Amino acid sequence: MTTARKNTKVSPRAEIPVVEAPLRWKLIPPNKVRFRSLLQLVEGHLWLVDTRHVVYRVSLEGEVVQSWQLPVPIVELLVDGDKVHPRDDTGMLFDLSGKQPLPFQQHGQLSPLPRLLLHQGKQVVLGKKGVVSAYNLKGKELWSVTVAGATRCWLFCADDDGIYLDAGGSVHALDWKGKPRWTTEVSKKALRYSWQSRHHLYVSSPHEGIFVLDKSGELVAHSPSGKNVGSATTSEDEARFFTTGRGRVVSWSGTGERLWEIRYTSDLTHETCTSGDRVYIAGFRCGLAGIDISSKARSEAAQEKLPDLVTRKVEALTAAPATATPSPARASKAPARATAKPPLKAARQGAPGKPQTPASAAAVTIECFLEGKEIRARVVSKGYHGDWACQFPRALRIAGARYQVDGVVESKTGDFYRIVGGVRRLT
């Protein structure tokens, strides 16, 4: 189904007061290190990456809860349910479920990957010339279609109903079999920064402002004043969305009306997310900051009464980084990179060559087995589906080897398991 842009309610630009941002806290990276513009909010924690390839899990009050040193540069933080998987530029994904990161999955078919997303164990890849391909947990291609004009998408996301991406000035939706659901043209020119919430899609144009669509493809709001969007996020109830750019945080109603603005010095490249009455911004120069956007805080800021700022600094890590097996593309550029890294320490997650005794009799047993040319993993403990696939780090997969993990959880689709906690090699 293809629909052209309809006349929607256009929100005029209103004159509103601009106040200084009520900063509650700020997290500063170690000396000579900067945070990158990669930020995710998952299960009540902020996840971000610095320029030394360290991934941080931070509380909503700005305290570092956990960190992982990765051996390669990270270009994206992919989220699948409550799991966060850092990705490098060759498509290698890392598993952070234990104390040490482990190489988790990699697509050898496409390197480097232009875009990749995860949903319920499936991987969707946006390749060259607008080719969209889906793979299951075992790496088998499920389908592949071409979306004309989808060469460099700003919108590339998914939910239980399907996949959404932009091409030129249009937004396309595919179902999970790769069949087109709808196409909506919103602009005659290419779209820029875009994002999704539970029920809506948001796309911006540097010339025509912000467009809001529901997930049936209907254009429900348009704000022509919403230009120069550097980053954006939506409130949990979807009653408001927030954009950042040119040193300001702007609040918008669900129908695209500007509500208020606050000043905040941020980078040209940064990322934003929100939770409750806080907006969080991460960038190369601005660090990570929590801004109080409650009506009380903004009212006091208008009277030049700003809250006490709590500043924290991240301590430099001393732990050894994990080992990653480089793809052929990465190895050809830097063949000595992998060997220069110290081996993964056998802490809670055991190294493949060092069997360990189980720490708990209640743990779940995972077995690695050979299926064709691939080594798969399955749960062999009683009471579990032995024919289901199991997400398991590829670096630990050895045919015939058995491991114990702290637990497994079923996927929402009910056809594979995810491991939880540490991994121990059985003798």
Sheet (strand 194-196) strand order: 194-196, 200-205, 209-214, 219-223
Flag whether 171 is in a domain: yes
- Cα 273 to Cα 196: distance, rounded to the nearest angstrom: 12
- Cα 200 to Cα 414: distance, rounded to the nearest angstrom: 26
Residues 126 and 259 in one domain: yes
User: Between residues 98 and 64, which one has the greater pLDDT?
Assistant: 64
Residues 191 and 76 in one domain: yes
User: Between residues 347 and 187, which one has the greater pLDDT?
Assistant: 187
Residues 232 and 356 in one domain: no
User: Between residues 106 and 406, which one has the greater pLDDT?
Assistant: 406
pLDDT at 343 over 50: no
Residues 151 and 216 in one domain: yes
Residues 169 and 27 in one domain: yes
pLDDT at 174: 96
Residues 46 and 186 in one domain: yes
Residues 267 and 377 in one domain: no
Mind listing the pLDDT tens digit for each residue in 267-319? Answer: 555 889 999 999 999 887 778 999 999 999 999 999 989 999 999 999 866 44
pLDDT at 406: 87
pLDDT at 325: 47
pLDDT at 145: 95
State mean pLDDT over 378-390. Answer: 89
Residues 380 and 263 in one domain: no
State mean pLDDT over 217-244. Answer: 89
State mean pLDDT over 153-172. Answer: 93
Flag whether 322 is in a domain: no
CATH of the domain at 268: 2.130.10.10
Flag whether 342 is in a domain: no
Domain that includes residue 419, residue range: 348-425
Asked if residues 249 and 239 have their Cβ atoms less than 8 Å apart, the reply is no
pLDDT confidence of 137, banded at 50, 70, 90? confident
State mean pLDDT over 342-368. Answer: 51
User: Looking at the DSSP assignment, which residues form a beta bridge with residue 146?
Assistant: 131
pLDDT at 5: 54
Residues 288 and 409 in one domain: no
Contacts 24+ apart (CB under 8 A), 104-111: 104/391, 104/393, 104/394, 105/139, 105/394, 106/327, 106/394, 107/135, 107/139, 108/327, 108/328, 111/327, 111/328, 111/329, 111/330
Mind listing the pLDDT tens digit for each residue in 390-423? Answer: 888 887 888 899 999 888 888 877 788 888 878 8
Mean pLDDT for the chain overall: 82
pLDDT at 309: 93
Flag whether 226 is in a domain: yes
User: Between residues 151 and 261, which one has the greater pLDDT?
Assistant: 261
pLDDT at 159 over 90: yes
Q: Radius of gyration over alpha carbons of the chain, in Å?
A: 23
Flag whether 57 is in a domain: yes
pLDDT confidence of 353, banded at 50, 70, 90? very low
Flag whether 339 is in a domain: no
pLDDT at 267: 56
Domain boundary among 294, 313, 332: 313
Residues 141 and 284 in one domain: yes
Q: Beta strand pairing status for 180-185 and 2-3? A: parallel
Asked if residues 71 and 59 have their Cβ atoms less than 8 Å apart, the reply is no
Q: Which of 132-136, 351-355, 369-373 has the lowest mean pLDDT?
A: 351-355
Flag whether 328 is in a domain: no
Domain boundary among 255, 287, 313: 313
Which percentage of the chain shows pLDDT scores above 90? 42
pLDDT confidence of 237, banded at 50, 70, 90? very high
Domain boundary among 264, 296, 313: 313
Q: Which of 29-38, 328-337, 339-348 has the lowest mean pLDDT?
A: 339-348
Residues 214 and 86 in one domain: yes
Q: How many domains does the chain have?
A: 2
Residues 60 and 197 in one domain: yes
pLDDT confidence of 106, banded at 50, 70, 90? low
State mean pLDDT over 26-53. Answer: 91
Flag whether 410 is in a domain: yes
